[in-house]
Amino acid sequence: MAKIDGHHLSIDEITRVARNHEKVSISEDGEHNLIRSYNLKERIIQTGSPVYGINTGFGIFADTRIDSKDSAQLSRNLILSHAVGTGAPLEKEIVRAAMLVRANTLTKGFSGVRRDVVVTLLEMLNKDLVPVIPSQGSLGSSGDLGPLSHLALVFTTDQKDLDSDSGKAQYGGHILSGKEAMSSAGIKRIILGPKEGLAINNGATFSAAIAALCINDARLLFSLAEISLAMSLEAMLGCSDAFDHRIHAARGQIGQMLVAENIRNLIKNSQFIDAAGRVQDAYSLRCAPQVQGIARDTLEFVNLIIEREINAATDNPLLFEPDRAISGGNFHGESVGMSIDFLSIAVAEVAAISERRINRMTDANLNAGLPPMLVDSEKAAGLNSGLMMPQYTAASLVLENSSLANPDSVHSLPTSGDQEDHNANSMTAARHAYQIIQNAFHVIAIEMYTAARAIDLRKKKLPFANLGSGTALAYEIIRERIPYQAGDALWGPEIEIVKELILSSEFQSIFPQLRVDNIS
């Protein structure tokens, strides 16, 4: 069971809770943080001083005083008026991840919410009651206001307790109103107190949650891309010199050295490598450690930023001893948006160089003596198209990634009467990164599928040659599920099988560096 205290939530824990439904509770320190913070808020309220979001309006209305008797209505109005998202619903795993991140943020002890708010969120998670959240409409700057307000609709209410104001949620395999879902799960909806509406919907929580899942997936993707690279290197009779440790040590880039080392281990004892007698290969093979290595370095940087963010206090104002509410801008999602843009670029480049290797293996002018489009033999060309179209699909996905990887964090439009005059666009950046990674997994699957066929054809010419110790394992696990077919066939479903394989525990057990968490 994961325990949250606002300080130690990890990306691994988010992934396990979001995808594997690991249960969550509040730690002893977290309980203490919540009680201390709530009592602090109550003392601040008693002073009667103007405090943003407690006894004032929001955004452009920050200077408008609100009577204390209307504080509950103020919180409720905030949620109702801000739940204006649009677009297809977010993936269930994303919503679960965001619920955990928000609960952790509140547990840090700077938000002044009652313990009941966090307990309700965790009870929903533990019973797999997941709000339906529109995917579009957040700028990620006053936080993900829209998505978090849609989340709050489900588990909060007011004296009217209208079903029509309770949003939608998934529970027990059905889409229900929030009120119906909570009732069916036996979870009591709560009436918000002072500041609690703002504490729930203020912060780039959905952006950070998506980013956390992207980091988990990119880590796996980059390892898989090294396996597909090694298989392509075998299929193309590639040169080993480009992976010599001395070359990479001379440059000193950590990710580059790691990729080269992994490739050396995968192709160890291969009799295909260097068999062509070439001095050097094309960039997509020879420079792969340089390209895929910086992607690994970028991932480590982004991981650092996002692990800070999922343990950050991100609403406004924040409450501090002694009896002080301080307004600031921790809700602004620039750190998430900019860092996840970097990861999008890195993943897009790993997929792009993979597609170039697919192209080389299918082009008879470039593939070191293999048949065009990897048809079974020269005489089969024409009647059979071979793997012409899988390369089209890979190229299409890479082109889509090129568009999606254009940075979103550099774009801003003002909102709230120019009070919020610089916005992060972090939610869009995170959604794009999520899609880029899904596209990249498919490109890597196509490369492995293509390399396996190219290896089959290469074996006809070199029947007694052995693959490397790692590449042989990858090739064998693919061929156990998908036998070689000489003529044209329905390649698409077979590529989907390869994608399922590389995301499976079967691959994980063979290659210890791989970690699979039920990627959807």
Selected residue with higher pLDDT from 224 and 55: 224
pLDDT for the residue 54:
79
Instruction: Give the list of residues 6+ apart from residue 109 with CB closer than 8 angstroms, or none.
Output: 6, 32, 33, 34, 36, 37, 313
User: How many C-beta neighbours within 10 Å does residue 414 have?
Assistant: 11
Residue 475 has which token pair?
Answer: 């090739």
Model confidence pLDDT, tens digit, residues 331-377 = 999 999 999 999 999 999 999 999 999 999 999 999 999 999 999 99
Per the CB < 8 A criterion, the answer to whether 131 and 177 are in contact is: no
Per the CB < 8 A criterion, the answer to whether 233 and 273 are in contact is: yes
Model confidence pLDDT, tens digit, residues 185-219 = 999 999 999 999 999 999 999 999 999 999 999 99
The answer to whether residue 57 scores a pLDDT higher than 80 is no
52 an active-site residue?
Answer: yes
CATH of 2-202, one of 1.10.287.110, 3.40.50.300, 1.10.275.10, 3.30.2290.10: 1.10.275.10
Using DSSP's 3-state secondary structure scheme, residue 463 falls into coil
Q: In angstroms, what CA-CA distances link 464 with 180, 270, 278, 460?
A: 66, 11, 21, 9
Rounded Cα distance between 16 and 151, Å, is 21
pLDDT for the residue 61:
77
HSE value, Cβ hemisphere, 13 Å, CA-based, for 235: 32
pLDDT for the residue 519:
54
Average pLDDT score, the chain? 94
Rounded to an integer, the average pLDDT of 225-239 is: 98
Please, which pLDDT band fits residue 421 given cuts at 50, 70 and 90?
Answer: confident
pLDDT for the residue 516:
47
The conformational region for residue 167 under phi > 0 = left, psi -120 to 50 = alpha, else beta, is left
| Residue corresponding to tokens 């040169």 | 239
Model confidence pLDDT, tens digit, residues 59-110 = 667 777 777 677 788 889 999 999 999 999 999 999 999 999 999 999 999 9
Rounded Cα distance between 496 and 338, Å, is 32
Catalytic residue (choose from 52, 434, 449, 475):
52
Please give the helix or strand (H or E) that residue 2 lies within, else none.
strand 2-4
Using DSSP's 3-state secondary structure scheme, residue 87 falls into strand
Rounded Cα distance between 10 and 212, Å, is 9
- What is the side-by-side strand order in the sheet with 130-131? 130-131, 168-171, 174-177
Strand ranges in 54-198 using DSSP code E only, listed in sequence order: 86-89, 130-131, 134-136, 156-157, 168-171, 174-177, 190-191
Using DSSP's 3-state secondary structure scheme, residue 134 falls into strand
Dihedral of the CA atoms 412, 413, 419, 425 (nearest 10)? -40
* CATH code, residues 209-318+328-412+420-510: 1.20.200.10
Selected residue with higher pLDDT from 105 and 417: 105
pLDDT for the residue 72:
80
Instruction: Give the list of residues 6+ apart from residue 227 with CB closer than 8 angstroms, or none.
Output: 266, 448, 470, 471, 474, 502, 511
pLDDT for the residue 517:
54
The answer to whether residue 514 scores a pLDDT higher than 70 is no
Using DSSP's 3-state secondary structure scheme, residue 391 falls into helix
Query: Interior CA angle at 259 toward 253 and 261, to 5°?
Result: 100
